[in-house]
Amino acid sequence: MDASEELQVALRAAREAGSIAAEHAGTDFRNDAETDSKSSANDLVTAVDRECEQRITDVIAESFPDDRVVGEENETGVTGEGREWIVDPIDGTSNFATGYPYYCISIGLRIDGEGVVGVVHSPDTALGRTWYAAAGEGAYRSDDHTLEGEPISVSEHDTLAGSMVFARLSERSRAWLASDLAVATTLLERESMVRRPGSSALNMCQIADGSADGYVVLSINDWDVAAGEVILREAGGAFRDQLAGDGSREVIASNGSIQKDLEELVDTVVGERHD
């Protein structure tokens, strides 16, 4: 399908929400009365998250009033049916809330469960980039807030040794944290460079443009990866998504060249922990 209109709407929504977030960049929200914690004290949501999500919802509704918008903060679930915009208004809220500039706005469109459009916008001047893709049209990155993007593609690095791999340390439960640590430790033993910067959407975009090589997360939600999956696939990357034990998603994403090794490592380590 031609998703050019949907892509333009997503770009507009992401940049308008990004402008809202950028106005508050560098602010410490941890003691703000309107900042709440979700699963734990290090899993935050701010008033800016809510404002950004509302702006994104409004922009989408102007052009596609019959479409469903699923946001991290509106607590509605992904159905996998029809046209669903899956939104994380600020992916990396804990970073944003403390003034650390690794966060983004993430907007993905799925039609009957299939990713069609993905936009990830980093409004902070530390990155100031937008990654975007529409199914079948390739992936692109625009720098310094320019509108025209350049094509991007994944790296060709083909071994775990020397690969840059993002990992996630769970903020939800000790059970997941133990598995996350086991995976990260095994990656380090395989001489991977392991990083945990704190934004799933940005992590996947770093893989898409060749800045990193892989990402392993054992428990994650749809809004964290909906946009990044489209961008990564269009850039030539690989993406395995399956149900985790708590009903969330387990995701292994990479440049494709290390995908098999990553999957085998995760399956072995996680399998051993649950045997």
If you search the block for the tokens 């199914």, which residue do you land on? Answer: 135
Adjacency order of strands within the sheet including 83-91: 68-71, 83-91, 104-111, 114-122, 129-134, 139-143, 150-151
Binding positions for Mg(2+) are: 72, 88, 90-91, 224
DSSP letter at 128?
-
DSSP H or E run through 114: strand 114-122
Q: Are 104 and 222 in contact (CB under 8 A)?
A: no
Give the span between the Cα atoms of 83 and 110, in whole angstroms: 6
Tell me, rounded to whole angstroms, the distance of Cα 24 from its chain centroid: 21
Give the span between the Cα atoms of 186 and 194, in whole angstroms: 10
Binding positions are: 72, 88, 90-91, 224
